[in-house]
Amino acid sequence: MERPRSPQSSAPAPASASASVTLAQLLQLVQQGQELPGLEKRHIAAIHGEPTASRLPRRPKPWEAAALAESFPPPTLRIGTAPAEPGLVEAATAPSSWHTVGS
């Protein structure tokens, strides 16, 4: 449940924002062939430009960093099997701890 003190902000509402319609109400309007309230029509097209040049280096993913750094501290929650190949964080073979939960 959302706590009363949680920080909240609002996106600026679109120019002709409709009052929120429930899904059931919406489908009923569609069924009756009625106009949907506040339907926003746009005519947006591509401008065919080049992207802004990138200035940041690509960051390694957490799993890439873990595989490369030999002394990287292990993640908090982890399968408890030894790597099958050196340099891999996790075993390539199925750990015996895998099992089916439920029916």
> Quick one: 69 or 79, whose CB is closer to another protein?
79
Using CA atoms, how far residue 20 sits from 13, 14, 23, 40, 97, in Å, is 12, 13, 9, 13, 47
Contact 38, 18 (CB under 8 A): yes
Nearest alpha-carbon partner for 41 in 64, 18, 75, 60: 18
Q: Note the residues at the interface with another protein (CB under 8 A).
A: 1-3, 5-14, 17-18, 20-28, 30-31, 33, 36, 38-52, 54-56, 58-59, 61-63, 66, 75-80, 89-92, 94-95, 97-102
Nearer to another protein, 69 or 75 (CB): 75
Question: By C-beta, is 40 or 69 nearer to another protein?
Answer: 40
